[in-house]
Chain A
Amino acid sequence: MDWFSTITSGGLIQQFIVGLSRSTILFIVSSGLSLVLGVLRIPNVAHGSLYMLGAFLCYSIATTFGSGSTGFWIGLALAPFCVAFISLVAERTLFSRLYDREHLMLLLFTFALMLLCRDAVKMIWGSDYRSLAPPEILQGSISTYGMLLPKYNLFLLSLGPFVAIGLWFLTQKTKIGKIARAAAVDRDMVGAIGINVSWVFASVFVIGCFLAGLGGALVAPTQNINQGMDHTLIMEAFLIVIIGGLGNVWGALLGALIFGLTDSMGILVWPQFSIVFPYAVVVIVLIFRPTGLLKSTW
């Protein structure tokens, strides 16, 4: 391993920061998945499709507004809301009828939805590859202390804490968060004391999907926006939710950090076999804590 000697402390920090920015995206998307999983008990396989829709919508909105910096910011601001609106329609017309069904049915249903979304994307946007430039001020990278830090990754990194605090506030401090947590424990009881559980569920579902859309819109400038996006991400998001503890948003944060950081550190230490690292960690976690690191709501 002669490349081992090339690892400097600067390189290490640089890799750490890049890994954190990847964790941020994973956290944003998987916390939404976890929220839906915890409160609604829906293993939403179509969550990745909403992420893909977020990226495509961000692209379309940005190019409508001239694909410059302003276009991107408008796209980033609007795309998650469009995804949230789509999910609201889906929840009211489809999901709300299925809450009492068993998990296998829900899994099959969301899987079908994923396939439908993929074909819808193909029909609307076609099969060409698409790419969106990051806004001017976030292009290029900053080099300090021999480190090279892409500006867009730093931007992603800075968003992470806001989303985490926002979610904490939502679940711990707001009324809807409290009801949602109660509903997750005992749905019938919450209904019995006169709370309209149906709308609480709808709101939580929409918030979860909003996060998927936000994740998609945020990665749009770093990726090839194409039909395969959903499927790469949903696997990772589920793994994160599982190692974090099903339905636990903080578990998603912890899982995303572990997944993102082992990935980027693995690449630095042993690039030939880096693919293995995050998955090896998942296996280790599940051997020692089969229900995930934090308390599962299931």
Chain B
Amino acid sequence: MKRCLFLLLMMISMGLSVMAPAGVWAADEIKIGIIDTYSGPPSSYALDVLDGFKLAVDRINAGGGVLGKKITFVTRDDKFKVDLGLTAAKELIMRENVNLLVGTINSAVSLAVSDLARKEKIPFIVTYGKSSAITSAKGHRFVFNMNENTEMIGKAAAVGLAKRPFVKYWIAGDDYEYGHAVADGVWNHLKKIKPDVQLMGQSWWKVGEPDFTPYITSILSAKPDAVIVATGGAGCIPFLKAAKNTGFNEKIPIYMHTATELSTLRPLGLDAPEGVIGTSNYYFYYPETPDNKQFVDEFRKAYNRYPSFGCLIGWYTGNFIAKAYEKAGKVDAEKFADALSGLTINTPIGNLTVGQHDNQLMLPMFMGVTKKVPGFDFLIASDIITIPASELVSSPEEIKKAREQK
């Protein structure tokens, strides 16, 4: 009996000690709810974002927090599913009383949570969703996108590709929203800049296609001048592998948006094909500015690896949040949303501004070509050209039109 009582007391005191900080801290903290895909193939990107975010938040908290409050966060796994993401968002708002929502690599989840955020009047900051609808057609006051979107990818690729002599193109990609959105984006803008381009044919594969060899050999038979590959995430790696194994990259130039990103090239090691054209928003080795070097050093010290674009997204999202609260002067959803819109902060890739008319972060884009370079045990981008954000973002008129159309 005594033992039972003792156990009971233990349990109560443990329960209290767990609950205590939550009760005491509640007034002194800014609580952020993060929803992202922490299982399955996309988790590689989501964890990069989280690591970058942690790094920024830890530094902000070490410096006394924001408005005298510490920033805390809780995470939820949406398993890349819309219903789970939406349930998690509701739970975070109702039970955890979060001040902000952050996250989602799946554009469909981003759009669903964004709709909830609009109704609940809670700011939602998208970290890795790439659909342009997030901030254009379905944009609103409380949703922000910290990543480049498919429209920007299309414009950047078109600007870069128009400078090259290719005329006959082949388009190949993932048969889902991202693949088609990127392909359409690139093609429509390219056609506008360079009207004499021709589309020879298209191949579409299912997401998670394990072997691209049959697709590549069939494209080789058609002999186009260049191929636009619209595949994202886990598919980039087997595609580049198959390209190397078939010698595809030596016969036909390939453009693939994420081909030069660290997340794609690091796992491949020296087994990646050279000469593949890719666009990216961030390279840890470019631009060679003190700000970038400092970020890379700090990140490497904390996690013992090079930061990818996802890590940078997480890092500046944390800093944007802190800066916006500082500007708002109090923890208030509407004031925060107004403060973040149009805000500029300094980042490793220079000053970045959140677009005032659409809440889309204005990111510049870098186009480079994969190359083996001594000193790295994976390929990096070379011959990098910068496409400024001003050439990529949608104008206020375009946004207005897109929002009216829905």
Asked if A291 is an interface residue, CB under 8 A from chain B, the answer is: no
**Bound CA–CA A8/B47 (angstroms):** 46
Q: Is the interface of A mostly helix, strand, loop or mixed?
A: helix
Contacts of B43 in A (CB 8 A): 122, 127, 227
Interface-forming stretch among A13-21, A172-180, A185-193, A245-253? A13-21
Contacts of A222 in B (CB 8 A): 210-211, 213, 238, 241-242, 245
Chain A interface residue bracket vs B: 35 or more
Asked if A226 is an interface residue, CB under 8 A from chain B, the answer is: yes
Are B205 and A275 neighbours in the complex by a CB distance under 8 Å? yes
**Bound CA–CA A268/B38 (angstroms):** 37
Are B47 and A127 neighbours in the complex by a CB distance under 8 Å? yes
Are B221 and A131 neighbours in the complex by a CB distance under 8 Å? no
Are A6 and B40 neighbours in the complex by a CB distance under 8 Å? no
Q: Is the interface of B mostly helix, strand, loop or mixed?
A: helix
Contact of A228 among B41, B201, B218, B219 (CB under 8 A): B41
**Bound CA–CA A139/B272 (angstroms):** 12
Are B175 and A275 neighbours in the complex by a CB distance under 8 Å? yes
Within 8 A of B (CB), among A99-154: 118-119, 122, 127-131, 133-134, 139-141, 148, 150-153
Q: A129-B234, A223-B211 are in contact. Are A3 and B246 (CB under 8 A)?
A: no
Within 8 A of A (CB), among B210-245: 210-211, 213-215, 217-223, 234-238, 241-242, 244-245
Asked if B267 is an interface residue, CB under 8 A from chain A, the answer is: yes
Contacts of B39 in A (CB 8 A): 118-119, 122, 127, 227
Return the chain A residue nearest B222 by Cβ.
Answer: A6
Are A271 and B245 neighbours in the complex by a CB distance under 8 Å? no
Q: A140-B245, A228-B208, A228-B234 are in contact. Are A271 and B44 (CB under 8 A)?
A: no
Contact of A19 among B208, B214, B222, B241 (CB under 8 A): B214
**Bound CA–CA A191/B44 (angstroms):** 50
Are B234 and A226 neighbours in the complex by a CB distance under 8 Å? yes
**Bound CA–CA A271/B222 (angstroms):** 11
Contacts of A77 in B (CB 8 A): none
**Bound CA–CA A119/B40 (angstroms):** 9
Encoded as 1 (CB less than 8 Å from any B CB) or 0, chain A from 217 to 229 comes to: 0010111101111
Within 8 A of B (CB), among A14-64: 14-15, 18-19, 21-22
Contacts of A232 in B (CB 8 A): 208-210
Nearest CB of chain A from residue B203's CB, rounded to whole Å: 4
Are B247 and A3 neighbours in the complex by a CB distance under 8 Å? no
Contacts of A14 in B (CB 8 A): 217, 221
Within 8 A of A (CB), among B23-49: 38-41, 43-44, 47
Asked if A87 is an interface residue, CB under 8 A from chain B, the answer is: no
Q: A129-B267, A152-B245 are in contact. Are A271 and B215 (CB under 8 A)?
A: yes
Are A271 and B204 neighbours in the complex by a CB distance under 8 Å? yes
**Bound CA–CA A292/B338 (angstroms):** 63
Are A7 and B221 neighbours in the complex by a CB distance under 8 Å? yes
Are A131 and B267 neighbours in the complex by a CB distance under 8 Å? yes
Contacts of A226 in B (CB 8 A): 41, 44, 234
Return the chain A residue nearest B212 by Cβ.
Answer: A222
Q: A7-B221, A267-B218 are in contact. Are A128 and B44 (CB under 8 A)?
A: yes
Asked if B87 is an interface residue, CB under 8 A from chain A, the answer is: no
**Bound CA–CA A274/B218 (angstroms):** 11
Asked if B202 is an interface residue, CB under 8 A from chain A, the answer is: yes
Are A131 and B237 neighbours in the complex by a CB distance under 8 Å? yes
Are A271 and B206 neighbours in the complex by a CB distance under 8 Å? no
Are A267 and B210 neighbours in the complex by a CB distance under 8 Å? no
Are A263 and B218 neighbours in the complex by a CB distance under 8 Å? no
Question: 3 tightest CB-CB pairs across the interface, nearest first?
Answer: A11-B221, A271-B203, A224-B237
Interface residues of A (CB under 8 A from B): 2-3, 6-8, 10-11, 14-15, 18-19, 21-22, 118-119, 122, 127-131, 133-134, 139-141, 148, 150-153, 219, 221-224, 226-229, 231-233, 263-264, 267-268, 271-275
What are 21 inter-chain pairs, A to B, with CB distance below 8 A? Answer: A7-B221, A11-B218, A118-B39, A122-B43, A131-B267, A134-B245, A141-B245, A141-B247, A148-B220, A148-B247, A150-B246, A222-B241, A224-B236, A224-B237, A226-B234, A232-B208, A232-B209, A263-B214, A268-B218, A271-B215, A272-B203
